[in-house]
Amino acid sequence: DAGVIQSPRHEVTEMGQEVTLRCKPISGHDYLFWYRQTMMRGLELLIYFNNNVPIDDSGMPEDRFSAKMPNASFSTLKIQPSEPRDSAVYFCASSLASLAGETDTQYFGPGTRLTVL
């Protein structure tokens, strides 16, 4: 398997523009997570899905952020309008739920480095 695929790897945009980040999870995985990583705040969970359904979006910083998972093999994280403070590395991760009482490994993608000027 190719692992978790994210695109683009780098994105530079100007304040006010819409940004869309994309993720393809590992085939067969039923959990998908979006994280944001910055020096100041570390690794923050933004939202996660189970079987394409959003389960917890409490980490989404503002209404400017939205995420969708239209099918099991694709998810997007959208920022509209973008602001300089959104500059960060955004990671997508996926995992496969096993029996209750087990937590499976989260497999991270390579990340998208977003710079908002």
Partner 1 sequence: QQQVKQSPQSLIVQKGGISIINCAYENTAFDYFPWYQQFPGKGPALLIAIRPDVSEKKEGRFTISFNKSAKQFSLHIMDSQPGDSATYFCAASMAESNTGKLIFGQGTTLQVKP
Q: Which residues bind partner 1 (CB under 8 A)?
A: 4, 31, 33, 42-43, 45, 48, 50, 55-56, 91, 93, 95, 97, 99-111
Q: Minimum Å distance from CB 78 to partner 1?
A: 20
Q: Minimum Å distance from CB 81 to partner 1?
A: 27
Q: Minimum Å distance from CB 21 to partner 1?
A: 14
Q: Is there a contact between 19 and 11 (Cβ–Cβ < 8 Å)?
A: yes
Nearer Cβ to partner 1, position 19 or 23?
23
Nearer Cβ to partner 1, position 9 or 18?
9
Q: Sign of the C-alpha dihedral, residues 115, 42, 50, 53?
A: negative
* Residue 55 backbone class (left: φ over 0; alpha: ψ -120 to 50; beta: rest): alpha
Task: Give phi and psi for 34, each to the nearest 5.
Answer: -115, 130
